[in-house]
Amino acid sequence: MTNSKSVFRSIDAKGSGKVSVEALVHNLESSGIALSDPRLQSLRLRIAKEGSASLSSEEFEEWISHSSSLLTRVVKSELVIPRFDEFAKEIESLFNHTRGIESGAVANYIPHLARVPENKFGVAISTIDGQHLSFGDAEEGFTLQSSCKPILYCAALEELGEKTVHSHVGREPSGFSFNELTLNKQGLPHNPMINAGAIMTSALIKRSLSTADRLDYLTSLIESLSGGRPCHFNNAVWHSERESADRNFALAHLMREQGAFPDGVDINATLDYFFSACSVEVDASALAIVAATLANGGICPQTGERVFAAETTKHCLSMMHSCGMYNYSGEFAFTVGIPAKSSVSGVVLAVIPNVMGIAVWSPPLDSCGNSVRGVEFLKQLIGRFNFHNYDSLVESQKKDPRRLPHARETDHIYQAIYAASIGDVSELKRLVAYGHNLNSADYDGRTPLHLACAEGHAEAVQYLLDQQVDTTPKDRWGNTPLADAKRHDRFGIEEIFKLRKRCSRQVPQSNVRAA
Ligand code: GLN
Cα 301 from Cα 315, distance rounded (Å) = 19
Tell me which amino acid residue 503 is: C
- Look at the chain and count its residues: 515
| Amino acid, res. 136 | G
> In this structure, what DSSP letter does residue 371 have?
B
Taking 70 as the pLDDT cut, the residues of the chain under it are: 1-2, 505-515
Q: Alpha-carbon distance 58 to 2, whole Å?
A: 12
**For the chain, give me the number of helices (H) and strands (E)?**
24, 10
Establish how many alpha carbons lie within 13 A of residue 52's alpha carbon, considering only the half-sphere containing its beta carbon. Answer: 8
Strand, helix or coil at 80?
Answer: coil
Task: Name which CATH class applies to 407-510.
Answer: mainly alpha
CA 357 – CA 247 distance, rounded (Å)? 31
Give the torsion through C-alpha atoms of 269, 271, 276, 279, to 10 deg. -160
For the chain, the structural domain boundaries read 3-75, 88-393, 407-510
**Cβ 178 under 6 angstroms from ligand 1:** yes
SS (H, E, C) 210-247: CHHHHHHHHHHHHHHHCCCCCCEECHHHHHHHHHCCHH
DSSP helix/strand/coil, 340: strand
What CA–CA distance (Å, rounded) separates 124 from 137? 9
What is the per-residue pLDDT for 512? 34
Q: Which amino acid is present at 432?
A: V
Residues linked to residue 233 through DSSP beta bridges, in sequence order:
280
Any ligand 1 atom below 6 A from CB of 238: no
Residue 278 CB less than 6 A away from ligand 1: yes
From 195, 242, 251, 327, mutation site for ligand 1 pocket: most ligand atoms within 8 A of C-beta:
195
* Ligand 1 atom closest to the CA of 326, numbered from 1: 9
Query: CB-based burial of residue 283 (10 Å sphere; 0-12 exposed, 13-18 middle, 19+ buried)?
Result: buried
In tens, the pLDDT along 71-94 reads 989 988 899 999 999 999 999 999
Fold of 3-75: Recoverin; domain 1 (1.10.238)
Confidence at residue 515, expressed as pLDDT on a 0 to 100 scale? 29
Q: How far apart are the C-alpha atoms of 358 and 133, rounded to whole Å?
A: 10
Pocket test for ligand 1, best of 106, 142, 146 (most atoms within 8 A of CB): 146
pLDDT in tens, 276-318: 999 999 999 999 999 999 999 999 999 999 999 999 999 999 9
Q: ∠ CA 512-514-515 to the nearest 5 degrees? A: 65
Which CATH fold would you assign to the domain 88-393?
A: Beta-lactamase (3.40.710)
Give residue 426's pLDDT.
Answer: 92
